[in-house]
Amino acid sequence: MADHDDFLRLYVPVQSALRRYVFAQIPDLHQAEDVLQEIAVVLWRKMDVYDRSQPFRQWAFGVARGEILHARRKVGRSRLVFSERLAERLQDAITSDESQVDERLDRLQVCLGKLGTQATQLVRLRYEQKKKSEEIAALLGQTATAIRLRLFRIRQALAACVRRREGLS
């Protein structure tokens, strides 16, 4: 049997893409949640047969496709159910989009590393510690307006940096 940590290391990075895939194909929120949970259970149970030389993402989407088809059969005919061909195209779009997101996140990490100490501190306070502009202003002895303006400029600089790095790829 696969160990829990090993499974989580493989599953967590694809979980959001699987969620989008399932929710795009199953219109009922509760049924989509049930199917998503069932996918996780099936993936866990079948970890022993997963071929580690193959990408986990593709294997997980194959399992997801099977679980979605199974859920459709249980529900019966519905005018909101996609064809299998459309479902495959949707899977391709979601997985390719996910790799683009991963690439952009890598570029953002590089750009974040280029920020100065004060800018890095502001970004951490706002986005890691989830502090509001008013809280940051109180901590740093500045106005909330000044903090918002600095964060706006930092976001602009990061966006420009990411775009430049995309041009290098």
Distances (CA, A) of 7 to 3, 46, 112, 156: 6, 10, 30, 38
Per the CB < 8 A criterion, the answer to whether 31 and 77 are in contact is no
- Hey, which bits of the chain come out as E strands? none
Tell me the pLDDT tens digit for each residue of 26-58: 877 888 899 999 999 999 999 989 988 989 999
Would you list the domain boundaries of the chain? Answer: 1-104, 114-169
| Class of the CATH-defined domain 114-169 | mainly alpha
Which amino acid appears at position 115 of this protein?
L
Helix (H, G, I), strand (E, B) or coil at 130: coil
Q: Which residues contact 11 (CB under 8 A, 6 or more apart)?
A: 40, 43, 56, 60
| Class of the CATH-defined domain 1-104 | mainly alpha
| pLDDT under 70: residue ranges of the chain | 1-2, 75-102, 169
